[in-house]
Amino acid sequence: QAQLVESGGGLVQAGGSLKLSCAASGTSFRVNIMAWFRQAEGKQREWVARITSAGTTNYADSVKGRFTIARDNAKNTMYLQMNSLKPEDTAVYYCKREWPRPDLWGQGTQVTVSS
């Protein structure tokens, strides 16, 4: 059964860094298009970044230049390096398999940035 498990969330001060991980199992990870989303309390879930099987990356404007998405196919793991964190980055962060369908989501990991 395919599964995604996020880790690495926590509490950090504004300006600090965190690195999230998303471990995949039961899926052909190396051919998957993967993404990170986040959902702040009371707000809709929003897309953060995407990485293709070839390593092409895209970022939301709100995180461009601060966040870096990466993948290690040998470890079936995707990462999100978050630098220069801001209080508005506070949210539950989810990883998602976008292709192939059906969509697959992780359970989420909380990131809290204090001012």
Q: What is the pLDDT of residue 108?
A: 98
Q: Is 115 exposed, middle or buried (0-12, 13-18, 19+ CB in 10 A)?
A: exposed
Average pLDDT, rounded, for the chain:
97
Express each pLDDT in 43-80 by its tens digit. 999 999 999 999 999 999 999 999 999 999 999 999 99
Q: Give me the pLDDT at residue 82, please.
A: 98
pLDDT of residue 35: 98
pLDDT at 46: 98
Distance CA 29, CA 23 (A): 10
How confident is the model at residue 33, as a pLDDT? 97
